[in-house]
Amino acid sequence: MNAGDEQVFAEQRESFGRISGLIDEAESIVICAHTNPDGDALGSGLALGQLIRQHWEGKRVTNLLADDDVVPRLYRFLPGADSFVRASEYEGDPDLFIVVDLSVTPRLNNARAVLERSRHVAVMDHHPSNAPFGDVFLVRPDAAASGVIVAEFGLFLGAHITPDIANCLFCAIVTDTGRFQYQNADSEAFECASMLVDAGASPSMISLNVYQSFRLAYLHLESVVMGRIVTFDHGRISYSYATAADLERTGALPDECDGLIDVVRSVEGTEVALFLKELPDGSVRGNLRSKGEHDISGVARSLGGGGHKAAAGFTSTTGIDATLATVLPQLQAVLASSDAGTAG
């Protein structure tokens, strides 16, 4: 641990203390993560709910979904996944709203209205953000996953980490680190994972559900996307896409497509990768990834999205061709400016 880490952990302990104080005083608590929730959003939210319920008996804790959707198929195995309430159907005025895996309010979608009716707000997240909000804003872009922060909150409380909590948090960390393979897979993530396995998490059960239970329809779509990968800029940029017609023809569902960007990024020599998915309403979801030091978050932000340096996303309404025409030159510019920086 270096001096910088110590400062980060001291600040985190201070925030944990304040969040704990807000929980002490609250009777009704809601927890919500971002729209289109992924493994970290769902796993860290469920784990936090279970931690609070068992460490503070008698609190009314509700896990909300930001969208009017069901939990994505791959994550329905998570303990507690059937307990989510859609934010649009939640009528209470909670004493405390805890935002996890999110630090910009528009991505709360329908839960924004609940946030506005809440007495207090706390944020626990790892996305870079320059617009703090709420009573406690604990945002650590250096943390591999929100699940890491929630696991450390459990340790801070001295709470009993049950096997269910451990499985939710392990899922959060394994998915956000791309199975401990991305640049964010640091020793803190491994330490948390080790602690969670000791607490009863089952990596093989989680892998079986998240990585080895694809429907054939999805795998057929994956083969279409794989067959369409294009590289350019001397192989340094890769992209591919799936149209709404591809989804319809194969029978794959939009919420099954999270792993397709990993197929695109797996090309040898690729430094930045782009995957576009056209939804039935014609809008296009973009996933951007950087395998090296390049920062692609600015490209996502310029399209109204956001995310981290190495993993970011956006939504566009201009269709696949026009989106490619906008994004690809920006990716080339990112590579060119990094090259210039290295040369200089």
What is d(CA 6, CA 164) in angstroms, rounded to the nearest whole number?
30
Token output for 303: 């399209």
Per-residue x/- marks for ligand 5GP, 17-56, CB under 6 A?
A: -----------------x---x------------------
Name the residue nearer to ligand 5GP (CB basis): 118 or 287: 287
Asked if residues 247 and 254 have their Cβ atoms less than 8 Å apart, the reply is yes
Buried b (16+ CB within 10 A) or exposed e, 294-319: bebbebbeebebbbbbbbbbbbbeee
3-state SS class at 124: strand
Residue 271 as a binder of Mn ion (CB under 5 A): the answer is no
Is residue 307 part of the contact set for ligand 5GP (CB under 6 A)?
yes
Task: For residues 98 and 111, give the distance between their C-alpha atoms in angstroms, rounded to a whole number.
Answer: 11
Q: Which residues pair with 29 in a beta bridge?
A: 61, 96
Window 126 to 155, contacts with ligand 5GP (CB under 6 A): 127
User: How many residues does this entry show for the chain?
Assistant: 344
Angle at 62 between CA 71 and CA 39, to 5 degrees: 35
For position 104 contacting ligand 5GP by CB under 6 A, the verdict is yes
Nearer to ligand 5GP, 124 or 195 (CB): 124
- Which of residues 152 and 258 has its CB atom nearest to ligand 5GP in the complex? 258
Residues 112-151 that bind Mn ion (CB under 5 A): 146
Report if residue 314 touches ligand 5GP, rule: CB under 6 A.
yes
H/E element, 203:
helix 203-211
Binds ligand 5GP by CB under 6 A, chosen from 121, 161, 312, 328: 312
Which of 97, 100, 101, 154 touches Mn ion by CB under 5 A?
101
The reply to whether 157 sits near ligand 5GP by the rule CB under 6 A is no
Residues from 261 through 290 that contact ligand 5GP (CB under 6 A) = 287
Q: Which stretch binds ligand 5GP (CB under 6 A): 3-11, 60-68, 306-314, 331-339?
A: 306-314
DSSP string, 22-41: HHHH-SEEEEE--SS--HHH
By CB under 6 A, name the one of 306, 327, 331, 334 that touches ligand 5GP.
306
Q: Tell me the two tokens of residue 340.
A: 């210039």
Q: Which residues bind Mn ion (CB under 5 A)?
A: 40, 101, 146, 176
